[in-house]
Amino acid sequence: MTIVGVTKYVSNEAAATLLELGISDLGESRPQELWKKAAALPTTVRWHLIGHLQRNKIERTLPLVRLIHSVDSVRLLEAIDKEAIKQDRTIDVLIELNLSGESNKTGMPFDQLPGMQSMVLQKTRIAGFMTMAALQDAEGCRATFAQLRQLAWPGALLSMGMTNDFEVAIEEGATHIRLGSVLFDGISQDHMRI
Ligand SMILES: *Cc1c(COP(=O)(O)O)cnc(C)c1O
């Protein structure tokens, strides 16, 4: 299981402390912030984009990331593949599914999944799924995570679980948990970006 240390709340310096703790998979939700941190931190970091990717930011983001967790439309997937072909680079992505309906606005509705899985891609590999559970009790999250696992195929990556629900996500088979606040709680205020 991989812990992705989410650095969106903190400075470059604070993000770098994760490397000393042995966490070298780092995640950012905004592409521009990922670009900035990737330029400032050692090249040994494996970067994960975990938030929305605008199509005009694909070109600059692709060379920097190990895994894009947040592919939420067919159009985006097509655009990523086109750019990957242009850059002659293979990229792994996860499809972000919205399994909790109205209460959670990000991710692709589940009924669009068949269309996406039948797409022919040349340089993009759909490696698994990502989801965010709605803010609710642990058992409510469990149902969402179990559903994601049941939709996936053997060997698929499952990016699920954040500070509030990672224990349940691990029990339900997460391969990647995305931890932000829990890693940086107690950090000095001058390192906080927000
Ligand atoms: C911010 C963020 C996280 C980390 O959230 P915490 O609750 O602080 O652990 C995880 N995943 C995504 C997509 C995020 O935007």
Is the shortest distance between the CB of 162 and ligand 1 below 6 Å? yes
Is the shortest distance between the CB of 181 and ligand 1 below 6 Å? yes
Q: State the burial class of residue 21 (Cβ atoms within 10 Å of its Cβ: 0-12, 13-18, 19+).
A: exposed
pLDDT tens-digit readout, 112-123? 888 887 889 999
The residue to mutate among 144, 177, 178, having the most atoms of ligand 1 within 8 angstroms of its beta carbon, is 178
Is the shortest distance between the CB of 50 and ligand 1 below 6 Å? yes
Alpha carbon distance 91, 86 (integer Å): 12
pLDDT tens-digit readout, 68-117? 999 999 999 999 999 999 999 999 999 999 997 766 678 999 888 888 87
Displacement of CA 63 from its chain's centroid (Å): 16
